[in-house]
A and B are shown apart, each in its own frame.
Chain A
Amino acid sequence: MGTRELMGDIIPRVPLSEWIESILDVLTTLLATATRAVSTVFRNGIRGITGFLDTLPPIVLILVLVGIAWAIAGRRIAIGSFLGFLFIWNIGLWGAMVSTLVLVFFATILAVALGLPLGIVAGLSDRFFLIVKPILDFMQTMPAFVYLIPAIPFFGLGATSAIMSTVIFSIPPTIRLTALGIRQIDKELVEAADSFGSTTYQKLVKLQLPLSLPTVMAGINQTIMLALSMVVIASMIGAGGLGGEVWRAIQRLRPGDGFSAGLAVVILAMILDRVTQKIAAQDRKAS
Chain B
Amino acid sequence: MSDNNSEKANVKISLRNVYKVFGKNAARGVELSKKGLSKDEILEKTKLAVGVSNVSFDVYEGETLVVMGLSGSGKSTLIRCVNRIMEPTAGEILIDDVDITKLNDDELREVRRKKFSMVFQSFALFPHRRVIENVEYGLEIQGVDKDVRREKAETALKLVGLDGWGDYFPENLSGGMKQRVGLARALSVDPDILLMDEAFSALDPLIRSDMQDELIALNDRVRKTILFITHDLDEALKMGDRIVLMKDGYVVQIGTPEEILTNPADEYVQRFVANVDITKVLTAQDVMKIHSPVAFVKDGPRVALRKMKEHGLSGMFVVKSSGELVGHLTADKAAQAAKDEKKWLDQVTDRDSVLSVPLDQPVRTLFPMVESGNPIAVVDEDHHFKGVIVRGSILAALAESHSDSAPIEEPSELASKVLTPGTSDEPASSEADKENN
Chain B residue contacts of A189, Cβ below 8 A: 124, 126
B118 CB to nearest chain A CB (Å): 4
Q: How far, in whole Å, are A186 and B138 apart by their CA atoms in the complex?
A: 19
Of the stretches B16-24, B109-117, B149-157, the one at the interface is: B109-117
Contact A286 B141 (CB under 8 A): no
Q: How far, in whole Å, are A189 and B117 apart by their CA atoms in the complex?
A: 14
Of the stretches A50-58, A203-211, A238-246, the one at the interface is: A203-211
Contact B122 A186 (CB under 8 A): yes
Contact B116 A195 (CB under 8 A): yes
Q: How far, in whole Å, are A89 and B136 apart by their CA atoms in the complex?
A: 54
Contact A197 B128 (CB under 8 A): no
Please tell me the size bucket of the interface on B: 20 to 34
Query: Beyond A189-B126, A287-B128, is A196–B80 a contact (Cβ under 8 Å)?
Result: no
Chain B residue contacts of A287, Cβ below 8 A: 127-128
Majority DSSP secondary structure for residues of A touching B: helix
A191 adjacent to chain B (CB < 8 Å): yes
**Which of the residues A191, A197, A210, A211 comes within 8 Å of B141, measured between beta carbons?**
A197
Q: How far, in whole Å, are A286 and B142 apart by their CA atoms in the complex?
A: 26
Query: Beyond A189-B126, A191-B85, A210-B128, is A196–B120 a contact (Cβ under 8 Å)?
Result: no
Q: How far, in whole Å, are A196 and B186 apart by their CA atoms in the complex?
A: 9
**Which of the residues A193, A195, A211 comes within 8 Å of B127, measured between beta carbons?**
A211
Majority DSSP secondary structure for residues of B touching A: mixed
* CB-based nearest A residue for B110: A197
Among A188, A207, A210, A286, which residue has the most Cβ atoms of chain B within 10 A?
A188
Please tell me the size bucket of the interface on A: 10 to 19
Contact B118 A197 (CB under 8 A): no
Pull 21 A–B residue pairs with CB atoms less than 8 Å apart, ordered by A.
A186-B122, A188-B120, A188-B122, A188-B124, A189-B124, A191-B85, A191-B118, A191-B120, A194-B85, A195-B83, A195-B118, A196-B113, A196-B141, A197-B109, A197-B111, A197-B113, A199-B141, A202-B141, A206-B141, A210-B128, A211-B128
Given A188-B121, A191-B118, A195-B195, 14 other A-B residues pairs in contact with their CB atoms under 8 A: A189-B124, A193-B126, A193-B137, A194-B112, A195-B112, A195-B116, A196-B137, A197-B142, A199-B109, A202-B141, A206-B140, A206-B141, A286-B128, A287-B128
Chain B residues at the A interface, C-beta cutoff of 8 Å: 80, 83, 85, 109-113, 116-118, 120-122, 124, 126-128, 137-138, 140-142, 189, 195
